[in-house]
A and B are shown apart, each in its own frame.
Chain A
Amino acid sequence: MTMTTADKIQAGLKKRYAAERRFRSYGLVSVTIGLAALLFLFMSIIGKGYTAFQQTYLKLDVQFDEAIIDPQATRDPQTLARADYGKLIKKTMRERFPDVKNRRDKRKLYKLASPGAVFIIQDMVRKDPELIGTTQTIWVPADDDVDMFIKGYINRDDPESARRLKDKEIAWIDALAATGSLEKRFNKTFFTAGDSREPELAGIWGAVVGSFYTLLVTLVLSFPIGVATAVYLQEFAPRNRWTDLIEVNINNLAAVPSIVFGLLGLSVFLNFMALPRSAPLVGGLVLSLMTLPTVIIASRASLQSVPPSIREGALGMGASQMQMIAHHVLPLAMPGMLTGTIIGMARALGESAPLLMIGMVAFIVNIPEGPLDPSTVLPVQIYLWADTPERAFVERTSAATLVLLAFLVAMNGAAVWLRKRFEQRW
Chain B
Amino acid sequence: MLNQKHAVLLESPAKTNDVPPPSPVQIQEPDTKTVGRVTVDKPIMTTRNVDVYYGDKQAIIDVSIDVAYNEVLSMIGPSGCGKSTFLRCLNRMNDTIESARVTGKIELEGHDIYDKKTDVVTLRARVGMVFQKPNPFPKSVYENVAYGPRIHGLARNQSELDEIVQTSLRRAGLWDEVKDRLGQPGTGLSGGQQQRLCIARCIAVNPDVILMDEPCSALDPIATARIEELIDELRQNYSIVIVTHSMQQAARVSQRTAYFHLGDLIEVGETATIFTNPQDKLTEDYLTGRFG
Contact = CB atoms under 8 A, between A and B. Distances in A.
Interface in B109-133: 121-125, 128-129, 131, 133
Contacts of B129: 312, 316
A239 B152 CA distance: 30
9 contacts: A238-B98, A239-B98, A309-B135, A312-B93, A313-B137, A315-B124, A317-B128, A317-B148, A327-B147
Interface stretch (A47-55, A210-218, A318-326): A318-326
A315 B124 CA distance: 8
B138 A316 contact: no
A189 to B, nearest CB: 51
Pairs A-B, 9 closest by C-beta atoms: A318-B125, A316-B129, A309-B135, A318-B124, A313-B135, A424-B138, A317-B148, A426-B138, A318-B121
Interface in A286-331: 307, 309-320, 323, 327-328
Given A239-B98, A320-B121, A426-B187, A314 B137 contact: yes
Contacts of B138: 310, 332, 424-426
B202 interface: yes
B137 A310 contact: yes
Interface string A227-254: 0000000000011000000000000000
A311 B138 CA distance: 12
Interface of A: 238-239, 307, 309-320, 323, 327-328, 332, 424-426
Interface in B196-214: 198, 201-202, 205
Contacts of A318: 121-125, 128, 148, 151-152, 205
Interface residues of B, number: 26
A122 B147 CA distance: 68
A319 B135 contact: no
Given A313-B131, A317-B128, 6 more contacts: A312-B93, A314-B137, A316-B91, A316-B202, A318-B152, A426-B135
A311 B123 CA distance: 17
Contacts of A312: 93, 96, 129, 131, 135
A317 B131 contact: no
Contacts of B98: 238-239
Contacts of B136: 313
Contacts of B133: 309
A313 B205 contact: no
A319 B129 CA distance: 12
Contacts of A316: 91, 93, 124, 128-129, 131, 202
A312 to B, nearest CB: 6
Contacts of A307: 135
Interface in B177-235: 187, 198, 201-202, 205
Interface string B90-111: 0101001010000000000000
Judged by DSSP, the binding face of A is helix
A239 B93 CA distance: 19
Judged by DSSP, the binding face of B is helix
A317 B96 contact: no
Contacts of B137: 310, 313-314, 328
Contacts of A327: 147, 151
Contacts of B148: 317-318
Given A310-B138, A312-B96, A317 B202 contact: yes
B121 A425 contact: no
Contacts of B125: 317-318
A80 to B, nearest CB: 67
Contacts of B198: 313
Counting chain B CB atoms within 10 Å of each CB, the highest count among A315, A316, A424, A425 belongs to A316
Nearest to A317: B148
Contacts of B91: 316
Contacts of A239: 98
A332 B138 CA distance: 9
Nearest to B188: A425
B180 to A, nearest CB: 22
Contact of A425 (B96, B122, B152, B187): B187
A323 B151 contact: yes
A94 to B, nearest CB: 77
A310 B135 CA distance: 6
A317 B201 contact: yes
A393 B98 CA distance: 62
A312 B137 CA distance: 11
Counting chain A CB atoms within 10 Å of each CB, the highest count among B122, B151, B198 belongs to B151
Counting chain A CB atoms within 10 Å of each CB, the highest count among B98, B128, B135, B205 belongs to B135
B196 to A, nearest CB: 14
A312 B92 CA distance: 11
A315 B120 CA distance: 9
Counting chain A CB atoms within 10 Å of each CB, the highest count among B133, B136, B138 belongs to B138
